[in-house]
Amino acid sequence: MDKEGENKKGLSKEKDYTQGDYYYYHAPSSTEDFLEENVQGEKITTPTNTEEVQDSGESSKTKSIPKEPRAKIGFLGVFLGALLGGALVLASGIYFLPGLIEQALPERENGENSIVVNENSDLNIYSAVAEYAMPSVVGITTITLERDLFFGDIRERPGLGTGVIVDERGYILTNSHVIGDGEVTELMVLLHDGQELPAEVLWNEASLDLAIIKVDEDDLPVAHLGDSDNLRVGEITIAIGNPMGLDFERTLTQGVVSGLNRSITTSGGSAEGIDNFIQTDASINPGNSGGPLLNTDAQVIGINTAKLQNGEGLGFAIPINTAKPIIEQFVETGEFRPVYLGVQGLNAEVYQRSWGEELSVSHGFYVAEVNPGSVAGEYGIESGDVIVGVNGQEVRNRGTLIRELYKLTPGDRATVTIVRGEEEFDIEVIF
């Protein structure tokens, strides 16, 4: 290799402080000059760094032709090819994109409420679920009366929540606390199309934090109810609601199922008996209450109800299977007729803590009183019994007992498991 500062024929040498010595070619002033000077009427061979060119005329001549112009022409060809290829890809995208979008958007199969997303599409599942589910989500505004704790005055208190349409005839599922546990003086529903309609409370249960309200409207878009019993931790969840007011109506947030069968005490304690909450890290804020928690099939798997104020990403929803029997009765008959066991009492844990009396079980519903003429009295349930199961499902507290009873209708037969003293046994009852 030549010393620094020296030149080879057609080459210049410089120092690369990271890679050592390197050489670069001096290009002609232009590609046109190169072609005119070296190619026209000549045969070109490239055996070495310099090439001999034989003239086609009477005389011959030898010229030195650097290699870089040829490389430059090659580069120009590659560039033009890439440009042409890009244009073809763009044209193909414009041609096929409408079809891809149409396949990716929500569709209904066989007349059922289901969602189909083309897996090869760039459109994400969240957009498809939002497109499908949002028309069935409503805003709920309320006016309730409350007594001032200091002065005793009665004053109006505005409230806001969310609901989900479960029947095209105007039946809407929401939280009991959204409608003031039934104590509302004004109840309005804001539909997806902008209509604002008055509503009435048909049913609510504070211990489950669920309620059914109704508007006088037909042919409404209905949500598709999923199966909350088959949920697994890690599944994607999507929440839709009105956090912090109607300025942010139908906000969508996403997360995963963080846990199952959670037990919490909400502010006010309205849902303190529920121990099977779905936990999610999808953002849930005041105003989201009563709105749907959905899976990636746009199916409602829960009703959002609460979040822990002292933690982030700790939201909770009531499993939709808790509400399904109630919804089904309203859809089929227009009303809900719950069955009654006819017992009064409290949670076994609370009884032991309050009375200082040890029971043989640590959970269940402690029967303090049996109502005269009730189903419980007729079939031999006694004061002091602890109900620990209904139809094979564990009863841990009052909330789970109510949940299991709400699955039944008048005329149904059920197996009630009780603990009396140290003995556990089943009693068959008919409601």
Question: Would you please indicate which residues are annotated as catalytic (active-site) residues?
Answer: 177, 209, 289
Q: Are 162 and 288 in contact (CB under 8 A)?
A: yes
Whether residue 233 is found in the same domain as residue 291: yes
The last residue of a domain, from among 295, 310, 336: 336
The last residue of a domain, from among 104, 135, 164: 104
pTM flag (> 0.75): no
- Give the separation between CA 309 and CA 219, rounded to whole angstroms: 38
Element holding 22 (H helix, E strand)? strand 20-25
Is the model's pLDDT at 225 over the cut of 80? Answer: yes
- What average pLDDT does range 392-421 have in this prediction? 91
Whether residue 77 is found in the same domain as residue 125: no
Whether residue 259 is found in the same domain as residue 128: yes
Answer yes or no: is 222 within a domain.
yes
As a whole number of Å, the CA-based R_g of the chain is 37
* Closest-CA residue to 334 (of 211, 195, 170, 184): 170
Whether residue 154 is found in the same domain as residue 289: yes
Percentage of the chain modeled with pLDDT above 70: 67
Element holding 327 (H helix, E strand)? helix 320-333
The last residue of a domain, from among 73, 104, 135: 104
- Give the separation between CA 29 and CA 41, rounded to whole angstroms: 21
Whether residue 305 is found in the same domain as residue 201: yes
Predicted pLDDT at 44: 39
- As given in the structure block, the two tokens for residue 106 are 């929500």
Answer yes or no: is 16 within a domain.
no
Q: Are 153 and 159 in contact (CB under 8 A)?
A: no
Q: Which residue has the tokens 């109810």?
A: 225
Answer yes or no: is 302 within a domain.
yes
Answer yes or no: is 8 within a domain.
no
Kindly indicate the confidence band of residue 9, based on its pLDDT and cuts at 50, 70 and 90: very low
State CA 123 to chain mean position distance: 16
Is the model's pLDDT at 139 over the cut of 70? Answer: yes
- What average pLDDT does range 102-116 have in this prediction? 46
Structural domain boundaries, residue 41: 30-104
Number of domains composing the chain: 3
* Closest-CA residue to 256 (of 313, 320, 175, 319): 313
Q: Which residue type sits at 82?
A: A
Predicted pLDDT at 73: 54
Please count the other Cβ atoms lying within 10 Å of the Cβ belonging to residue 222: 17
Whether residue 145 is found in the same domain as residue 291: yes
Q: What is the DSSP string of 200-258?
A: EEEEEETTTTEEEEEES--S---PEE--GGG--TT-EEEEEE-TTSGGGTTEEEEEEEE
Whether residue 180 is found in the same domain as residue 264: yes
- What average pLDDT does range 27-55 have in this prediction? 42
Q: Are 190 and 182 in contact (CB under 8 A)?
A: no
Answer yes or no: is 72 within a domain.
yes
Answer yes or no: is 6 within a domain.
no
Answer yes or no: is 69 within a domain.
yes
Whether residue 420 is found in the same domain as residue 331: no
* Closest-CA residue to 71 (of 1, 24, 15, 20): 24
Answer yes or no: is 174 within a domain.
yes
